[in-house]
Amino acid sequence: MDTENYKDLLGCIRALVFDVDGVMTDGMVTVFPTGEFVRRMNVKDGFALQLAARRGLKIIIITGGRDDSILTRFNRLGITDIVLNSTSKLEKLLEYRDGYGIPLEDMLYMGDDVPDIDPMKAVGLPCCPADACQDVLSVAKYVSPLPGGAGCVRDVVEQVLKAQGKWYGEDFEGFNA
């Protein structure tokens, strides 16, 4: 991983694209006897995502997960570009590129497993949590020192915002981390 190279890219990022399970979560689910299950997500990730959206960055969630709790979580954060049950994450990424007119080289994608490799290869700044699978680690230009669900999202979002001079400067009331 070329640390200087990834830092040079932070200032150009206009869209932040994330997988959910293994990135926003630790990849573990609690399964109840009814068959329902729950994920745990990091509130610091939520704060950073809200701030990035307020600062004008597009936040896009593309996941193979199908549970409505994903929609609930991100809608409460004000994020509406959410794709559930994705069978082709690259296809969805290209749709957002075309819809928003944001070049792929101006996008950051953070994933942790094999379905994330193609979209990671397509964007300007592929990132992953520390505990991503080996195939993903080999594709990433930046590997967060934090594992999935433990602040890796906050790590990359904060770096982008700081590189763009957008981390401070606004009243922080009204956040729903």
SS (H, E, C) the chain: CCHHHHHHHHHHCCEEEECCCCCCCCCCCEECCCCCEECCCCHHHHHHHHHHHHCCCEEEEECCCCCHHHHHHHHHCCCCEEECCCCCHHHHHHHHHHHHCCCHHHEEEECCCHHHHHHHHHCCEEEECCCCCHHHHCCCCEECCCCCCCCHHHHHHHHHHHHCCCCCCCCCCCCCC
Q: Of 79 and 175, which is predicted with more confidence? A: 79
| pLDDT of 49 higher than 90 | yes
Distance CA 26, CA 42 (A): 9
> For strand 125-128 and strand 142-143, is the pairing parallel, antiparallel, or unpaired?
parallel
| pLDDT of 44 higher than 70 | yes
Contact 93, 119 (CB under 8 A): yes
Return the amino acid letter for 29: V
| pLDDT of 115 higher than 70 | yes
Q: Residue 29: its pLDDT value, please? A: 83
| pLDDT of 88 higher than 90 | yes
Distance CA 166, CA 131 (A): 28
- What digits encode the pLDDT tens for the residues 15-39? 999 999 999 999 888 888 998 888 8
Q: Residue 175: its pLDDT value, please? A: 60
| pLDDT of 150 higher than 90 | yes
19 assigned ligand-binding residue: yes
8 assigned ligand-binding residue: no
Q: Of 67 and 143, which is predicted with more confidence? A: 143
Average pLDDT over residues 56-70: 93
112 assigned ligand-binding residue: yes
Q: Residue 81: its pLDDT value, please? A: 96
Distance CA 70, CA 61 (A): 9
Q: Residue 2: its pLDDT value, please? A: 52
Q: Residue 170: its pLDDT value, please? A: 55
